[in-house]
Amino acid sequence: MRWLADLLEDFVDRDSNGAEDDRFVEGAGAFLGVLLIDHLGGGTQERDGCHRVQLGRFGCFDPWGAIQEALDADDPRKCLSEYLSMAEREARADGPVSRVVRIFAEELSRARPDLAIHSQFELTVDLDNGASVDLARLERAARDQDDDDASQAARRIISMLPGAEAREATPWSEAVPRLLPRLVSRKFVDSLPAEQDLYLDAIGHDVLVALQLRYGARARYLRCAEVDDWKRDRGSIRQRAVANLAAKSRALRLEPVSDGILRVRQSDGLDGARLLL
pLDDT for position 127:
92
Q: What is the CA radius of gyration of the chain?
A: 21
The answer to whether 8 and 76 have CB atoms below 8 angstroms apart is yes
| Stated length of the chain | 277
From residue 14, alpha-carbon distances to 5, 18, 20, 42, 147 in Å are 15, 12, 10, 34, 45
Q: What is the pLDDT of residues 83-131, one digit of tens each?
A: 999 999 999 999 999 999 999 999 999 888 888 999 999 999 999 888 8
Better-scored residue on pLDDT, 147 or 192: 147
Better-scored residue on pLDDT, 63 or 250: 63
pLDDT for position 24:
92
- Provide the percentage of residues in the chain whose pLDDT is more than 90: 47
The answer to whether 223 and 198 have CB atoms below 8 angstroms apart is yes
Query: How far is Cα 26 from Cα 38, in angstroms, rounded to an integer?
Result: 19
What is the rounded average pLDDT of the residues 26-39? Answer: 94
Q: What is the pTM for the complete model shown?
A: 0.63
Q: What ranges do the domains of the chain cover?
A: 2-91, 96-159, 172-276
Give 168's pLDDT tier (boundaries 50, 70, 90): low
Q: CB 115: neighbour CB atoms within 10 A?
A: 17
pLDDT for position 194:
64
Strand 131-134 versus strand 218-221 pairing type: antiparallel
Nearest to 196 by CA among 269, 114, 101, 106: 114
Better-scored residue on pLDDT, 153 or 274: 153
pLDDT for position 93:
94
DSSP alpha helix (H) spans, the chain: 2-12, 18-40, 63-72, 76-91, 96-111, 136-142, 147-159, 172-175, 186-191, 224-230, 234-248, 271-276
Is residue 166 pLDDT above 60, yes or no? no
Nearest to 213 by CA among 186, 173, 157: 173
Contacts of residue 152, defined as CB under 8 A and 6 or more positions apart, other chains included, come to none
Q: What is the pLDDT of residues 212-249, one digit of tens each?
A: 998 876 788 888 888 888 989 988 999 999 999 888 87
Is residue 14 pLDDT above 90, yes or no? no
What is the DSSP-derived secondary structure letter of residue 130? Answer: S
pLDDT for position 262:
62
Kindly write down the DSSP assignment for every residue of 195-261, as one continuous string: GG-B-EEE-SSSEEEEEEEEETTEEEEPBHHHHHHH---HHHHHHHHHHHHHHHTTT--EEEEETTE
Is residue 164 pLDDT above 50, yes or no? no
From residue 104, alpha-carbon distances to 42, 112, 117, 148, 191 in Å are 20, 11, 10, 12, 22
pLDDT for position 260:
66
Phi, psi at 183, each rounded to 5°: -80, 135
Is residue 48 pLDDT above 90, yes or no? no
What is the rounded average pLDDT of the residues 172-196? Answer: 84
pLDDT for position 16:
74
What is the rounded average pLDDT of the residues 175-186? Answer: 91
